[in-house]
Chain A
Amino acid sequence: MKIRLELTVNEETREVLVAPHKTLLEVLREDLGLTGTKHGCELGECGTCTVLVDGAPVLSCLALPAELQGRAIATVEGMAGGGQLHPLQQAFAELGAAQCGYCTPGVLLTAQSLLSERPTPTREEIREALAGNLCRCTGYTKILDAVELASLRMAEVAR
């Protein structure tokens, strides 16, 4: 039997009618048409499906929407605003931090969460924060560079 849920995704309230055993990943992609969230291992071993719940990175492949009513869910589709890329997206594009791009949405959101808590992280703090996101192209160095560049630019603007 399907259940009716009200989810807040990228600051919009969306109503869905879904089977209770569907994960957030499935609901985002199949019921809400938000395919920016990628499915990788689907077992919690890769970080590709990361989304933010109340600002903290979690894995949508292991999250049940029934538990997330009233919580703020953020996906990569919500990052750019007003025709402008998020500074992280801009830095990733400029530095080639996305190779095949499959891990990129999850990495961007995890990095966004880090920068909101810690606007100018050290390299080690970035590595620690991204320790749950695997890049199958192994392009880690450019990812770390891009997060650093974005944090510097955002700190500049904030000043």
Chain B
Amino acid sequence: MMRLPPFTYVAPRTVRDAVAALREHGADAMLVAGGTDLYPNMKRRQFEPKVLVGLGGVAEMRGVRGSARDGFTIGAGTTLSALARHPDIVRHYPGLATAAGLVSSPQLRNMGTIGGNLCVDTRCNYYNQSFAWRKAIGFCMKKDGEICLVAPGSPRCWAVSSSDVAPVAWSLGAKVRLVGPAGERVIPAEALYRDDGIQYLAKQPNEILTALLLPPADGRRSAYMKLRRRGSFDFPVLGVAVSVRMDGETVREARIVLGAVASQPREATKASAALVGRQLTPEAIDAAAEAAAGPSKPLDNTDFTHPYRKKMTRVFVARALRRIAGLPVSGRVEEELA
């Protein structure tokens, strides 16, 4: 039996108490919600916190509130299952519901939370391994070692942002609420992430991500596509989130954000800009998809080859945009989405 390392468990009932518990235990403590990301890592001894502050009992962090007109507040403790089948989210933010419904497996979506997926640890073929495996090959800088085994000459860690929800939140222009000892602050979703495999979050360790704030739906259309080997369980090795607002037939605003191609989600700004003021014709879509492949620079540290993941960026961006435009989608789109 593979066991968790020993820890003391603290179960606050309010955000205020959770913040106090984090402050009291400092660097010895870690936060846990669903545990689906943290516990496997703890079993592999990637984390050995002395104290775990469990957020499962914090009722104020659960649930979806709001309206399409004013936007929605999604409590960070809301499970991915609940989000994926929430009628308002499915209707007004289909990209977000799709992404939540494609995380891992049904059981893990019943446990895992939206906040957990936004903060999910970065992943790498050299990191997500047993202790014995990592010891045998030589530890990497993300845990216990000095160098990056993907790019040994590099001063930084290249572990991959593996959240399905993060690129969607970014593309929708969503915000997150962070609560810490000094009070709360609300920042754009894109400001939550840093381009570093180790320090991948701009959230301070003593802050708790309590909610995801969605802007008014306002005619927004969105889609998410995920590349992975199996139709279940697997983390994304490419995610494409697209959000578009139209003025009649013309694109007023577009945001294309790529997941799992770097240590943080990456916005394809040129591709997005190329769509504004145009109609979503097959030609405009192909041009945007071509431009979107530019910022997609995956490294050889996940499943599938990195040239394939880069190539698929163009294909998936085109498919996501065609879906939004109501054009027929070629290829195995339903299988990719399943």
Contact = CB atoms under 8 A, between A and B. Distances in A.
Interface of A: 1, 3, 19-23, 25-26, 39, 42-45, 47, 50, 56-59, 61-64, 66-67, 110, 128-129, 131-132
B7 A21 contact: yes
B150 interface: no
Contact of A43 (B7, B40, B107, B232): B40
A64 B7 CA distance: 12
B1 A62 contact: no
Contact of B7 (A20, A45, A110): A20
Interface of B: 1-9, 11, 35-36, 39-40, 43-44, 54, 56-57, 81, 104-108, 110-111, 231-233, 338
B191 to A, nearest CB: 30
A132 B231 CA distance: 10
Interface centre among A57, A62, A128 (most CB of B within 10 A): A62
B48 to A, nearest CB: 11
Given A43-B43, A50-B107, A57-B107, A62 B11 contact: no
Nearest to A3: B9
Given A42-B1, A66-B9, A58 B54 contact: no
B111 A63 contact: yes
A67 B11 contact: yes
Contacts of B81: 56
B110 A42 contact: no
A140 B198 CA distance: 39
Given A26-B3, A67-B11, A131-B232, A59 B108 contact: yes
Contact of B54 (A3, A44, A47, A67): A67
Given A39-B1, A42-B2, A59-B111, A131 B106 contact: yes
Contact of A62 (B39, B232, B233): B39
Nearest to B9: A20
Contact of B106 (A1, A19, A43, A132): A132
A86 B2 CA distance: 31
26 contacts: A19-B6, A20-B7, A20-B9, A21-B4, A21-B9, A26-B1, A43-B40, A43-B43, A43-B44, A44-B108, A50-B107, A56-B110, A58-B107, A58-B111, A59-B36, A59-B111, A62-B111, A63-B111, A67-B54, A110-B107, A131-B106, A132-B105, A132-B107, A132-B108, A132-B232, A132-B233
A47 B107 contact: yes
A131 B232 CA distance: 6
B52 to A, nearest CB: 8
